[in-house]
Each structure stands twice: as structure tokens, then as C-alpha cells.
Structure 1
């Protein structure tokens, strides 16, 4: 939803441009505790979804060709930060692209969400929740207090300098391809693809991602933990993920399977780790809202140490306040091998426009 306005031009009889604004506001309180951590009470933004605001524009170039563009910025209502809180993050890190669309499909250039990220948030009942979606956390937002890494954290949710082509629907399927050259000599050359089938009530997406010639260095845990060092320099990433859902009207089921392999250097020698993740979820309309549950299991096979396992369960309820606003509650149970259990509780308000 959003506001739109148009202005007619004489160069093309039916030419007009439309600009829509859109966004999401999220704020609440939670007692947050991941496995191995102490409990911490916070006023926090971005629990259900990171807050953001953006503008979309489209303008017909001919009867069959349209120019499209989008810019969007993350921000935090709890402290006023205009990013997700990541160091060095750009002002329009959620989206910044322009492209054309026609009977051939669409072509976009700029900072664009990755195909694996879209797969991740689409096929779990807690969507793009960085604090309470088990599959989002297992794939992208690991805890530095845990020796368990993530499969796609080095990829981020969006790639800079991306070229994306998406086909129109052909025989019930849509193919999308993304490519981002290595322009800063550290992120590596990035390639991704996905194929989407179905829509309603059944939908499924198979996505793949590969990063080569990267140089991304990070400790393997919180720097105060012995397992953090020596640091790891990731050079190659490869991921494949299958996501699916089926809406039975009285309830909706979600499922995801992913496998990620990261190769690099640690302590002067070649090292690697592989993470396998499975997520199963359900959402059920209940009274004036929706009850939800999701469970994710990940295993990490490390070449330098014993395997690790992480289990995360989240349950919650979204109470409908209006067409655009919900009040939500969450409980999350998190457990990593050899670490204490973490229990988190939250409530907050989310408004989309």
C-alpha cells in the first residue's frame, strides 16, 4: 500500500509516471536470550521486521515497455539509526535499483535482494524477522556468542552492483538470475538463480547461490571465547535451498531445506565448514489474528573441530488491530551444542504502509 500520483506527458499519449511510497514500522519490548547468552531486557525495533521506508516509481516508455525504479532505507525506531545497525551500511541498503519490464520479463540493475533471501523469508511463518524467525536466524543472523556460524551470513540479504533478469511466467514457472561482479576485491564474484513454481495454494522455489574469490575475514565466535580465534577468511560460498508452502485455508504449512558450504583459510591452512538447515512451520487463523509456530534445525560440520547442532523453536500470535497494524507476541527457545538454553519473550506493534 502507499500513496500514488501521476503526471501526464505529451510525448506519448498514454504516458504517465507513478510514485508510490511504502514502508514498515516496528517497535516493542523483549527479554532476549540466545543459547549461551545472559538474558537482556530491551526496547527494540525490528523484531517482527526491520523498519524501513522507500519509494517506487514506474513510467511507461511504450505500450509494451515500462521503466521501474526503487529506493528504500532501513531504520530503527528504538535509537533512530538509519541502518540495520551494521558498520559501513549505506543509506539505501534495503533497495536501490532501476530497470525495465516488458513481455520479455524484467531487467534490473543496482542493489537488489538476493534470491536465497527471498526464498528464506517467503517460506517460513515468521518471514523477515531477524530476532524470532528460526530459519532467518540460522541462515543470516548468527550469534557471536555461539561457535555456530550461518550458511548465508557472508552473502547478506542484498547484493550491490547486481544485474538481475526475471522471465515472465512460462509453463507455470518463473526463472530469475542474478550476477554481481567483484568491484571492491573483497566481496567476491556473486551469482544466483531461482525457479519458482505454483502460487496458490501450493508454491515452491529452488534457489542457488555461489560466491567466488571473496576475502571476508571474521572470528568464529564472540572474541572473548577461545573458539573465536584464529580468524577465518572465507573465499568461496555455495548454497542451495528449497522452500515450499501449501495453504489449506484453515491452516498453512511451510518447509525449507538448505545446504551451504564455506571454504577459506584459518591458521594459515585451508579450512571449510558446511551447514545443513531444515525448517518446518505452520500458521493458523485464530480469532482476530493468526497463531504461528516454526522449528529449525541446523548442523555445522567443521573441518577443524567437532560437529555442532542448533535447534530453535518460535511460537507467536499476531493480533489484527487494523488492515495495516498488528500487535504481536513471541516466545523462542534456542539451543546450541554444549551451551546453555536461551529463552526469549517479546511483544510489540507493527504497522505497514
Structure 2
């Protein structure tokens, strides 16, 4: 009888230890799929009917986890990769350098003194760009994303939209909604295009109001061929971005202002971009709207105006359908338009 009781106690103790160990560490598989069909006519281009990839969000899958190592500190990691739902290939459309884990690939620690990570990490400017516009990170319908990362005639932010390689990152604890962040990316190789990238951010989020100020600087070497795919003669690009949003329950308002300085051997160029947007609940769905305007000054003067309107309807907590239209105009170019509807689901 004592043996049976002892065995039961041993089994119960082992189960409790296993349960505690499971609570101290976790691993999660997750992702998102987004496909749409539509009509597209780019500026100065020919029209076509398309089956598109990632109308609202570029599809991705990920594996994240954490381990509690005591004292309120956790070891964290995240591995995320883009894929094209139309043909099954890795990466986003138009991003030839996307690898297996090109969305996130980092390991770090998080605790009472903040969070520190190292690896492949999205830059702070990217997060501010997508947070303060209603179309989030859409490369198809978000005017602010297109103006910032799909530039026109030398306009735009360089150094990759979605990730910085060889990076270290730190975020402070939240002080009543106030958070400071800093990031640096190493070149690793002499003369590497991505060397000397750094960025800093101060953000605040409390009671429906959020704001952020980000500064980013990238220095480029002048080795032969190093700048050919970016902007000839470019030595330094500096960017400041101010974002704000305010949720009034019946409407959420968005705004951004961004200034880019391009230091070029034959004359500097400045690019000013402004964006306003809104999100209006309609039943269980929502109407999204955004307008962005950019103008460059210096030896090249170019303007661009893009607006978008969308209706998003949730079918469940994980799945939604959407319809959207985007209009694009720029100096000395014929106008462009994109119209589409899609389905997006998470797992």
C-alpha cells in the first residue's frame, strides 16, 4: 500500500514539474496568408488583370518562443519568413534579397530593464511608417509605404524596408506609455553598402493617443559600384519621421510627416512627405482611407500624390475580406490606378 502511495506521489510530482517547465518556456508557430484579384495600371504603364500576392499584408510564417530564466528575465527568439502565395516562392514580390527568414531572425533577452536583441531586425522607421497609417504595411494599397519604400525618380527611403542585417536593438521599459528605442546595423565587410546604419526612437501610447519621433541615418561608402543600385553619388541619407494617431472610438485618425536628406556629390536633395488617414467602424467592418503627398527639392523637383480607400469586413477573429482602390499621380507621368478585392487569414 505504501509503495502504491509513493508511486502516485512520484507521478504527481513529475507531472507538476513538467507543467511548471512547460509554463516557463513556450514555442508558437504562426503566420498569415493574403491573396487578391484585381485590375492594375501603373503610372506610365499598361493595364492588366492580376491575381495578386499580399494586397493588405505580405504573407509570412513564423516561429517564436521564450524561456523564463528567472528574476523576471526571459530569453526570446523570433524567426519569420515571407512567401509568395501565388507561386510558393520565398520572399516578397520585387524583393530579390529575401531569404528564408527575411522578416525577422533574432535572439535576445527581455526583462525589467527592457529588451535587447541581435540579428535581422526591422528598422524603427519601418515600424513608425506602418503604425501611423490605416493600411499598415501594405505594399499594394498603403500610400505612405509606397512613398517611403517604393520611391519615384530617386525619392524614397533606402536601406531595406523590412529588415536590417547584422543588427543590435534595445527598447526601454515603458514609463506610463513612454518608450525609448535604439538600433545599429554593422556592415561586417569593408565597403559594404549597409554599413553604419543607426536609428533612435521615442514613442508614447496612452488612452487612445499615440505618437512617435524617429531619426535614421545611413552612411554609404564610395567604393566603385557600391551605389549603382541606390542613387549615384549618394554618401549619407538621413530621415526624420513624426507620427501620430488618436482613437475617438467612432473614428481613428492618423497623421505623419517625414523629411529625407540625401547628401549627394552633385547636390543635396530633400524630400518632404505628409500623410493623413482615418479608420471608421461601420457595423463589424471598417472603412479605411489615406492620402500621401511627397515633393522633392534640390536639383530634381518631383511631386507625387497617392490616395487609397478600402472596406474591410471580418468573417471571424482570424479571417477577413477586403475591397480597395488606390490612385497614383506624379509630375510628368500619366496617372495610375489599382483596384482589388482579397481574402486574408491568420493562423
Instruction: Tell whether the structures are fold-level matches, with TM greater than 0.5.
Output: yes
Partner of 1:117: helix, strand, or coil?
Answer: helix
Q: In the TM superposition, what are the counterparts of 1:15-34 in structure 2 within 5 Å? A: 16-34=24-42
- State the Cα deviation string for residues 55-82 of structure 1 (Å, max 9, x = none): 1110011132110000000001011111
8 Å contact from structure 2 (residues 241, 259) kept in 1: yes
> Which residue is 2:209 aligned to?
202
> Which residue is 1:255 aligned to?
255
Pair 1:103-2:103 in alignment: no
Distance apart, 1:113 and its partner CA: 1.1
Distance apart, 1:180 and its partner CA: 1.0
Unaligned runs of 5+ in 2: 1-14
Distance apart, 1:9 and its partner CA: 6.6
Q: In the TM superposition, what are the counterparts of 1:116-155 in structure 2 within 5 Å? A: 116-142=125-151, 146-147=152-153, 149-150=155-156, 152-155=157-160
Range with greater deviation from structure 2 (205-214 or 133-142):
205-214
Pair 1:326-2:320 in alignment: yes
Partner of 1:232: helix, strand, or coil?
Answer: coil
Q: TM-score, normalised by structure 2?
A: 0.89
- State the Cα deviation string for residues 209-261 of structure 1 (Å, max 9, x = none): 011134653468xxxxxxxxxx6243211001011100000110000000011
> Which residue is 1:223 aligned to?
none
Distance apart, 1:275 and its partner CA: 1.1
Partner of 2:147: helix, strand, or coil?
Answer: helix
8 Å contact from structure 1 (residues 128, 136) kept in 2: yes
Partner of 2:141: helix, strand, or coil?
Answer: coil
Pair 1:69-2:82 in alignment: no
8 Å contact from structure 2 (residues 257, 273) kept in 1: yes
> Which residue is 2:343 aligned to?
349
Distance apart, 1:44 and its partner CA: 1.0
> Which residue is 2:123 aligned to?
114
> Which residue is 2:287 aligned to?
291
In 1, Cα distance between equivalents of 2:264 and 2:137: 29
> Which residue is 1:234 aligned to?
234
Candidates 73, 96, 102, aligned match of 1:93: 102
In 1, Cα distance between equivalents of 2:332 and 2:326: 19
> Which residue is 1:187 aligned to?
194
Unaligned runs of 5+ in 1: 1-6, 221-230
8 Å contact from structure 1 (residues 148, 310) kept in 2: no
Pair 1:309-2:303 in alignment: yes
More helix by share: 2
8 Å contact from structure 2 (residues 177, 206) kept in 1: no
Q: TM-score, normalised by structure 1?
A: 0.87
Pair 1:80-2:80 in alignment: no
In 2, Cα distance between equivalents of 1:288 and 1:313: 24
8 Å contact from structure 2 (residues 195, 219) kept in 1: yes
8 Å contact from structure 1 (residues 148, 300) kept in 2: no
In 1, Cα distance between equivalents of 2:143 and 2:346: 22
8 Å contact from structure 1 (residues 9, 16) kept in 2: no
Please provide the CA RMSD for this pair: 2.0
In 2, Cα distance between equivalents of 1:47 and 1:218: 30
> Which residue is 2:8 aligned to?
none
Greater Cα radius of gyration, structure 1 or 2: 2
- State the Cα deviation string for residues 104-154 of structure 1 (Å, max 9, x = none): 001100111110000000000000000110000000123xxx52521x133
Range with greater deviation from structure 2 (114-123 or 164-173):
164-173
In 1, Cα distance between equivalents of 2:73 and 2:16: 17
